[in-house]
Amino acid sequence: MKQFLAVAALTFALVAIAAVPKAQAQNCQDLLANNRYRCQVKTELGSQFEACLQFSSPGSLSSKFDMITEGPEFQTTLECECKAKSDFNNPKFNQSIEFLCGNEQYGDAAEGKAGGHGKRITNGQYFFNSTPDLSYIFQCTLDATCQIH
């Protein structure tokens, strides 16, 4: 009888564990959504400046999320999505903590990686499509006081 009860208890425990829904990993949109960041920006021309980024989810331009930029010569809104994970044969769209953004009107583009559970952005790069075309790199920290006008 004791053996039967032990087997029944173990079976019940395994069924209960299997029934618990697994937490879905957060993607870049979950981590960045509706946050503001203070960023240090370096241009390929050697200049540096500070800028603010705000992520708006859902976006006003994109059905996923938008990135609004505010800084010297750095004011626009880009449409964003999370990059795909895995490989070509088994893509997992919008599941990465890395993001990719673009702007149809001006042709600007940006990418980066949400880190520290949304507290920072690393590996940021911005393509500023103007005359001449310029490339920026950036890194950011979460800062609700960073002003977007």
Per-residue pLDDT of the chain in tens (149 residues, 90 and over written 9): 455 444 444 444 444 444 444 455 699 999 999 999 999 999 999 999 999 999 999 888 888 999 999 887 678 899 999 999 988 999 999 889 999 999 888 889 999 999 999 999 999 999 988 767 889 999 999 999 998 87
Q: Distance of CA 54 to CAs 51, 62, 107, Å?
A: 10, 14, 19
Q: In CATH, what class is 25-142?
A: mainly beta
For the chain, give me the number of helices (H) and strands (E)? 2, 8
CA separation for the pair 128, 14 (Å, rounded): 55
Indicate the residue type of 88: F
Residues ≥6 apart with Cβ < 8 Å to 116: none
pTM for this entry:
0.78
